[in-house]
Amino acid sequence: MSIENFIHRFEPAAAAGLPPLLLLHGTGGDESDLLPLGRAVAPGAALLSPRGKVLEHGMPRFFRRLAEGVFDEDDVRRRAGELAAFVDAARERYKIPAPIALGYSNGANIAAAVMLLRPQTFAGAILLRAMVPLATPPHADLAGKPVVIVSGAQDPIIPAANAARLAAQLREAGARVEHQTLPLGHGLSNADLTIAQRWLAEAAGTRAPAE
């Protein structure tokens, strides 16, 4: 696959020793949507940010859904394969190592699907407001890969049990999963940023930004 198959933005690293971030937006976002978050989470890291190729009422997404919270799982699998191939092509073009996925909502869901379907694609993942992408996940070897899931206790879209089931699926595949629940809804907050910064600093072996 050519990287031109996804509209995307790439910002090269401005500091050494940081893993690149793959930024995956939520429904209605685009390739610019999460760049400020990526810069805040990992100042100086390389950022790769594709636009989802599926349109829902004109809003970009990474895969089709049949209703809110009901996914077209055949499309999930196909789009996860496309995204993994894009990441492989982008790594070759931009000379970057395996990225850590930073996804929000629909972007977090496709990131989780890629981890389960193409385990070698990511070095880890920050999944903000994620839910189970595949009812019956495939066998995957995620041995030791770090993942943080940040859920909202008042999220009207994602039941707490669903987010917990995703954490369990990833743990069963061998990932080192941290799952935190904030007293929030589906939207993001500064608390999400703080958790992501701290988690990435620990996962990458770097110091967290000063408070």
Is residue 2 predicted with pLDDT exceeding 80? Answer: no
Decide if 126 contacts 148 (C-beta within 8 A). yes
Q: What pLDDT digit, counting tens, does each position of 148-181 carry? A: 999 999 999 999 999 999 999 999 999 999 999 9
Is residue 76 predicted with pLDDT exceeding 50? Answer: yes
Burial of 181 (0-12, 13-18, 19+ CB in 10 A): middle
Hey, CA dihedral for 21, 22, 27, 30, is it positive or negative? positive
Decide if 180 contacts 195 (C-beta within 8 A). yes
Q: What is the mean pLDDT of residues 63-72?
A: 88
186 catalytic? Reply is yes
pLDDT at position 1: 57
139 catalytic? Reply is no
pLDDT at position 208: 40
Is residue 206 predicted with pLDDT exceeding 60? Answer: no
Catalytic residue among 30, 72, 75, 186: 186
Q: What pLDDT digit, counting tens, does each position of 103-130 carry? A: 999 999 999 999 999 999 999 999 999 9
What are the structural domains, with CATH classification, of the chain?
3-204 (3.40.50.1820)
Amino acid making up residue 204: A
32 catalytic? Reply is no
Catalytic residue among 49, 155, 179, 192: 155
How many Å apart are CA 23 and CA 41, to the nearest integer?
Answer: 11
Catalytic residue among 49, 105, 151, 179: 105
Is residue 211 predicted with pLDDT exceeding 70? Answer: no
